[in-house]
Structure formats: C-alpha cells, structure tokens
Structure 1
Amino acid sequence: MKKTLILYTGGTLGMRRSQSGYVPDPDLEGALGRLLQDVIGQLPQYDFQALDPLLDSANMQPQDWYHIASLIRDNYSQYSGFLVLHGTDTMAYTASALSFALQGIEKPVLVTGSQIPLREMRSDAYNNLIAALLLSGSDEIKEICLYFNGKLLRGNRAVKVSSGSLNAFVSPNYPCLGEVGIQVNIDLKALLTPSGIPEFQIPADTDGGVVLLKLFPGISPNLIEKILESHPKGLVIETYGTGNAPTNNSAFTAQLEKASQLDTICVAVSQCLEHQVDLGKYAAGSALLDAGVIGGLDMTSEACFAKLNHLLAMGHPPSEIKSLMENPLCGECSNPDQ
C-alpha cells in the first residue's frame, strides 16, 4: 500500500489572512482532509506532520533545509514517498539542498506550494497538492522534484521566475521530467537513475558560510573586500553571460586572487537563465580563471549556492570541493565530459 508523509513547513499554500497579512495556518491538516475526502480513495494514503515553527519561506535557513532532510531520513523506511509543502520564494533553494542531502534516494520526494492560499478563491493550491500527492506514489520517480502548475521539474534545476503568475517555475537548462494535464506523462529518460544505496548527508553544522554576489556595472572592489572581511568559506558570483566580469579593473581581480589565497572557494554562475558558464571563452572570463575562480557550468544560482554550502558544511577539503563543484552529483548540472 502506497503511503506518503506530508511535511508542512509553512508557505502560501497553507496561509490564512490576518491583520498583518497572510500568515501560516496551523490547521492545514483539517482543511486538507475536508478537501480531499471525495478523492481520497484515488490517492496514496498519507500522514501529515507540521513543522514547528511554521515558516514563510523567506525565513528559511540552511538549518531548516537539513531539518526537513533529517525528517525524510528518519522516516525513510516507513513511507513510499514524501511531499514537502513549502513557500515559493525559496522553494528552489530547499529543493536543491534536499537533492544534495538525500543523494541516491530511491523514492519520490515532491516539493510544492502555491501562489494563492488554499483557503482563497481561485487558488492553485488544490491542483498542485493533488498532483504532487499523486506523483509521490510513483514507482518511477527516485529523486527530489519540484512540482508546480502542471510541470514536474528536477528540484535542483528549477528557478522561480514569476511572483504574479501561476506558472511560477521553469527549468531553464534541463527538460521537464513530466507534465500533468488530462493525462499524466512522465519522461522516464529524463529521470535520475539511483546508483545504489541512498547516501543521506546531514551535516552537524548546516551553515557552510557561503555568500552570493551579483555583479553589476560599476561594482566596487571594496565591496568584495568587505565581504572577504567576514571570512566566507565560499563565494558564488553571478557573472555576465558565459562567465564575464569587469576584469579590466585590476583591483577587482586582485580581490578575487585574495579570496583564493584565503581559501575562499569562488564559483562563477551566469545571470542568464539559459546555457552555461565557459570561463575560457572570453578574455573577461579567462581572467577569473587566472584568479582562481571555477566555473559552475549550467547550474542555477540556487543549486550552486546549496551545493557549495553542502560540500563546505560536510567538511570536504578545498581541493576536493573544487573538483566536485565542476561535476554533477545528482543531476544539478550537465556532465562537462559529454
């Protein structure tokens, strides 16, 4: 018998109105039971667990990612699938982080939410929840996925692109894993194939000390200097295009060289949603290579941040981290050798 564990973390899906705006509603389980009573026989059985405290996803921290991962690990043998109800603002970060914490998982983990609360008219919550719960009973899905508005996406490939549309998430550099319309269509060739026994990686110290920096015209090297004063262990740099930066400014590259000397691992991703970083394509990118920056291939900023945080939190040495960042661990980037 299929049985899913639903983990309610907070977020718009389960919110209600208050004098200060939408807030998480602790009575979501009851509302959910009433809504599903007419179709419950067509869905996997489920248990419901609300996290305490419930969080707007804007308040999610790395420790919350790993708390969710630890609940899945601790209940892994008791359920055939897992459904995480989550706010949309940082959903792509959490889905990415879960993919690294639960590498090799052999059961479906679906992360979903909504743009409009379940209790409101015209809510997208019902359809997202029904479809994600249905997919959590799949025998084919064996990875962390993000489901939203009819699309099944690899969790560490998803990006939120709209705060005003029900079609809020896309997967810019990897095909959809499936679509749910009149029919449920799963692209079996796009799914991950587990390589063996699941490897749950839950670090004791969940904060890897990573900073995310977006380049902009006129950026001052002093900004990077100030960042380095906080002794970050990792720096994800959102560069232009294929990995370009204002490298004519020698003070800028000098700060990146300083970061490398301080063992701060710097990884370049692109501000463009599509395609990938190639630091050797232009001189403005090659200078980053010379300064010790490594390329993040076609990873999203969210996946790169979560991956670098995870590897640092797990205590991997810098040389090993640099190699692991340039190779896929769980489908988060394309294989550079292919």
Structure 2
Amino acid sequence: MSAAVLILYTGGTIGMTPTDQGLTPTPGLHGRIEQQFGASLAELPSFDLLELEPLIDSANITPAHWQRLAALLAEHWDNYQGFVILHGTDTMAYSAGALAFMLGACARNVLFTGAQIPLGLPGSDAADNLRNALLLAAGPRLPDVCLVFNNQLLRGSRIRKVSSKRFAAFDSPNEAPLGELGAAARLHHERLLSADSASRAPQLAAQLNFEPGAVALLTLHPCMPAALYDALLADNHCRAIVLLSYGAGNIPSRDQAFNAFLRRARARSKVLVNVSQCLDGGVSPGTYAASAALQEQGVLSGGDMTPEAAFCKLHWLIAGGRDQQALRDDWAQLYCGERSSD
C-alpha cells in the first residue's frame, strides 16, 4: 500500500478553473492540491489521485458513470484504506445514493465530497471539505457511503442539495447528521449502519447492468398535460416511475387523465413509487382520501425517502436483473438506511 487513500477525481466545481466559457473541470488537480496545502499537506494522510478521462461536469452524470466508479473501486479496493470521490454538487445526491445501494455496509471507507467554490479561488470551501474527507477516509471504518461537506458527515442515501450558493449545500432532511467535523469532530456511531447490515463487494457492483432510461421522475403539478403520461407509458425502456406527490402523498384524485394513467401503468407492468415533494417529512399512505387511488393501483410507498434515493434504488434493483414482481417484493427492504424504519 503506497498511500492510505485513493482520491477519484470525476470533475465538478472543486477541481474547476475559470475559462472564457465559465468554470470547467481541469486536469492536474494533484499539483493544485499541493500548492493549496503547502507544508500542511504532511499533516494529512498520504494519498494517490486518479483523474477520470474525460473529466465531466456532474450535470452530465448518467448511471453508466456509477458503474464506472464501482469498477474503479473494485480495481483498487485492496490497495487502500479508504477512498475519496471528488464529484460535482449538482448530481452528488444521485451518485452517492447509487454507490450506497451498490456497496451497502462497505468494508472500506468511501466518502464523497466537492465544493461550492473551486480549490485555490478566494473564499473557497474546497480545502476544508477535502481535508475532512481525507482524515475520515484514512480513519476507522465507516460502514456507510457518506458525504463530507461543510463540516458535516451525511449518509449518502439521505442527502439532497438544498442550496446552489451556500457552503451548507447539502442536508439530510429526515435524518440527523452522522457526524460534526472540524476542530472538535464528533461521530455518532450509533447512527451508522449496524454491524449486521449487508456488505456488497465492488466487484459485484461493477457487474451490474444499469439500463438507460429505466427510471423516470414525474413531479405532480396542477393541470398536468396528458401527453406526459402517454410518453412514459409508451416508452418500453421505462420500467419504473417515481411520483413526486403533494404533501403527505396526495394526488389530483379528480383528474380522470391521471387516474387513467395509474391504471394503464399497472396494466403495462410499470412499477410506481410515491415520494413527497416536501423537503421534510414523507408520504403517509391512507392519511388523506386524495391518496386512496395510489393504494388501489398498487403504487409503492417511498416513506420519507428522497426522490434521488428512490430513483437510485429503483435503478439498482432493476440493474440486478429483477423482474416486476421481484422489484415490488424487494422495494420494502432497507439496504443502506435509505428511509426511516416503519
């Protein structure tokens, strides 16, 4: 083991530099890290850095990138104590969620981090985020795939990006942080995945077959165009749909087109999952009469899961080769602390 930690640099703001077209991911991050930290770098765990080619803005992330990350982890799994994945903030919640399902209670520390301002620019948050991530990655085992950001440790399957400007860019709305970092770091070990949680090897995760377009997100809003329903129903590649409903899980129950959509989706063997548009809380099936049609048509409850986690869980279940019935049967299982227990 030549170093304690392997940094996987995918792109994202943390490693961007200014250009005439705006900030863009730029190779050569190792040198910029050395320049930023200077002599204090010796106080941090040793690390190697691997840059993905090509580097990408995280707005261009697809499930294929999740599989590539798993393959890179599998390739280097036995050579490092921990891993830090540098990722853009825009789709961090999706990638961290996907890896959380793929790895479960992983045997190595896997931490995502990034920044709101690029490393080396005035007022950047990048150095603090990277420092905290390196220290944790080389420390005692953390069984969760986690996010390190703004002096907090958050579960990867619970995070949402809540600000495009503030350093507190992420939150886990329905779960307390797993740790507070910085000078007086404190980890809440009782909140981490339990010792009996399943660990999934990255070698197996790398063999999953993610299907492009297999899952869709449908945000409910007043007077929805019926063409949206028709497009989703006609797409044979789309096998599951996450409904972002109102409040505690309510739908436009008097909208005949929407009710017909629910019936047609069930007839076409598409799995539907209901989550709330609200940042805090979740869906409560049966609380309101306006949600009754969801239970009648077999729509699954996402509880207090985030839309990102529901999207990633469905993708992961489908990538494992499950048919519709197995997908429905396995949905209720908890795999990585993705929702509160019933």
What is the DSSP-based 3-state SS (H/G/I as helix, E as strand, rest coil) of the residue aligned with 1:213? Answer: strand
Q: 1:206 and 1:317 mapped to 2: Cα distance?
A: 13
1:312 equivalent among 309, 318, 323: 318
- Within a 5 Å distance, the mapping from 1:245-256 to structure 2 comes to 245-256=251-262
1:54-102 deviations in Å (ceiling 9; x for gaps): 0000011110011112211221111110000000000000000001111
1:2-47 deviations in Å (ceiling 9; x for gaps): 7111000000000001111111110111111232342233222111
The Cα shift of 1:139 comes to: 0.8
Contact 1:208 1:308 in 2 (8 A): no
Q: 2:66 and 2:195 mapped to 1: Cα distance?
A: 22
Structure 2 counterpart of 1:327: 333
Contact 2:283 2:303 in 1 (8 A): yes
Structure 1 counterpart of 2:289: 283
Q: Aligned in 2, Cα 1:38/1:26: closer, same or farther, shift over 3 Å?
A: same
Q: 2:221 and 2:31 mapped to 1: Cα distance?
A: 48
Contact 2:25 2:56 in 1 (8 A): yes
Contact 2:36 2:120 in 1 (8 A): no
1:204 equivalent among 202, 206, 209: 209
Structure 1 counterpart of 2:228: 223
Q: 2:199 and 2:221 mapped to 1: Cα distance?
A: 44
Contact 2:102 2:200 in 1 (8 A): no
2:304 equivalent among 298, 305, 316: 298
Structure 2 counterpart of 1:93: 94
Structure 2 counterpart of 1:138: 139
Contact 1:257 1:291 in 2 (8 A): yes
Q: 2:297 and 2:195 mapped to 1: Cα distance?
A: 36
Structure 2 counterpart of 1:267: 273
Give 2:321's aligned amino acid: G
- Structure 1 stretches lacking a partner, 5+ long: none
What is the DSSP-based 3-state SS (H/G/I as helix, E as strand, rest coil) of the residue aligned with 2:11? Answer: coil
- Within a 5 Å distance, the mapping from 1:1-338 to structure 2 comes to 3-195=4-196, 197-200=199-202, 201-202=205-206, 203-207=208-212, 209-231=214-236, 232-336=238-342
For the aligned residues, what is the CA RMSD? 1.5
Give 1:4's aligned amino acid: V
What is the DSSP-based 3-state SS (H/G/I as helix, E as strand, rest coil) of the residue aligned with 1:332? Answer: coil
Moved more, 249-258 or 117-126: 249-258
Contact 1:179 1:186 in 2 (8 A): yes
Give 1:236's aligned amino acid: V
1:180-215 deviations in Å (ceiling 9; x for gaps): 132111001111134355344231344361111100
Contact 1:107 1:143 in 2 (8 A): no
What is the DSSP-based 3-state SS (H/G/I as helix, E as strand, rest coil) of the residue aligned with 1:331? Answer: coil
What is the DSSP-based 3-state SS (H/G/I as helix, E as strand, rest coil) of the residue aligned with 2:327? Answer: helix
Q: 1:160 and 1:205 mapped to 2: Cα distance?
A: 24
1:213-243 deviations in Å (ceiling 9; x for gaps): 1000111333212221122101011000111
Moved more, 313-322 or 17-26: 313-322
Q: 1:140 and 1:83 mapped to 2: Cα distance?
A: 14
What is the DSSP-based 3-state SS (H/G/I as helix, E as strand, rest coil) of the residue aligned with 1:39? Answer: helix
Give 1:216's aligned amino acid: H
Contact 2:7 2:84 in 1 (8 A): yes
Moved more, 225-234 or 298-307: 225-234
Q: 1:308 and 1:174 mapped to 2: Cα distance?
A: 21
What is the DSSP-based 3-state SS (H/G/I as helix, E as strand, rest coil) of the residue aligned with 2:56? Answer: coil
Instruction: Give percent identity, aligned residues only.
Output: 41
The Cα shift of 1:151 comes to: 0.8
Give 1:303's aligned amino acid: A
The Cα shift of 1:280 comes to: 1.4
TM-score normalised by length of structure 1: 0.95
- Structure 2 stretches lacking a partner, 5+ long: none
The Cα shift of 1:251 comes to: 2.3
Q: 1:298 and 1:8 mapped to 2: Cα distance?
A: 31
What is the DSSP-based 3-state SS (H/G/I as helix, E as strand, rest coil) of the residue aligned with 1:87? Answer: coil
TM-score normalised by length of structure 2: 0.94
